[in-house]
């Protein structure tokens, strides 16, 4: 399974906000603000859903090999 950062495509966005939805001012101390934008993966909404659905399946036994491995190690 690829990391979500490996699925990133420059310019791709899951959500696009219009100018009216973006606040012009923010009431935070300068110490809490980033100097540069966060380096987040650029993926579509569908890619995000698929990625976290796959992680969920792996966590809750969606893949037999993970469950079998952990059961074998406990014996």
* Residue 55 DSSP class: H
Q: Dig out the tokens for 46 from the structure.
A: 């569908």
pLDDT at 68 over 60: no
- Contacts of 69 by beta carbon, 8 Å cutoff, 6+ apart: none
Give residue 43's pLDDT. Answer: 94
pLDDT in tens, 14-63: 887 777 766 777 788 989 888 998 999 999 999 999 999 999 988 877 55
User: What whole-number distance in Å separates Cα of residue 54 and Cα of residue 51?
Assistant: 5
- Please tell me the total number of residues recorded for the chain in this structure: 75
pLDDT at 75: 44
């Amino acid at each position: 399974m690829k990391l979500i950062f490996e699925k990133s495509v420059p310019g791709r966005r899951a959500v696009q906000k219009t100018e009216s939805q973006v606040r012009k001012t923010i009431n935070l101390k300068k110490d809490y603000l980033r100097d540069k934008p966060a380096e987040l993966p650029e993926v579509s909404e569908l890619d995000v859903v698929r990625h976290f659905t796959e992680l969920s399946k792996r966590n809750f036994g969606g893949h037999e090999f993970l469950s079998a491995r952990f059961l074998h190690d406990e014996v």
